Amino acid sequence: MVAIRGYGMPRSKLRRYRQAGMLPLLLVGLMLASGGALAHGVDYRIERGEAVLVHFSSQHDGPMVGAGFRVFSPDGRRIFSSGNTDALGRAVFVPDQSGEWRVLMATEDGHGAEVEVHVEGGAEAAGPGRDRDSGVPVAGRIPATAAGIGYLFGLAGLLALWRLRR
């Protein structure tokens, strides 16, 4: 048994797979199936809307980079968003309703601020996977469908290989 460049298959079997057309089918199935494994079920969409940016800075140090912040909804009971300020000292959030929003910022060395933000028209959410303006579903399931087709091709290739061995 002579292996071909690390494939671990004798030349006669590889030739038989090539003649049966199974090798290209198996390779196509593996390539289609690998795309879904990389994405791992994560959908995303890019949306352009009106965001609220609150810039935090210190008189001595400039922008307050990496400071923790929390955004409270107008009812004041729930935290709408939280995170750290970016490299320019900005806390960013996209409100979903109008009202008085409250942003609390605190640094590890004890500096902090509380900012009231008045929002007149909050962004209306269209739901996951939908365009905000038209409500039309945004492509996100296509990679999952392609992965499913890839798995079917892979299974068909494995079945064909099993039948060739018999």
pLDDT by residue for the chain (166 residues), tens only, comes to: 455 454 556 666 666 666 666 666 666 666 665 555 554 556 667 777 788 999 998 888 889 999 999 999 999 889 999 999 999 999 999 998 889 999 999 988 888 899 999 998 765 444 455 555 555 555 555 666 777 888 888 888 888 888 888 7
Q: CATH code at 98? A: 2.60.40.10
Is the residue at 139 inside a domain?
A: no
Is the residue at 126 inside a domain?
A: no
Among 47, 45, 65, 69, which residue's Cα sits nearest to residue 57? 65
Please check whether residues 60 and 31 belong to one and the same domain. no
Asked if 56 contacts 64 with a C-beta cutoff of 8 angstroms, the reply is yes
Residue 33 structure tokens:
């199936």
The reported pTM is 0.50
Please check whether residues 32 and 56 belong to one and the same domain. no
**Which three-class secondary structure state does DSSP give residue 146?**
helix
Residues in CB range of 163: below 8 A, 6 or more apart = none
How many domains does the chain fold into? 2
CA end-to-end span of the chain:
19
Please check whether residues 72 and 99 belong to one and the same domain. yes
Is the residue at 109 inside a domain?
A: yes
| Structural domain that includes position 82 | 52-119
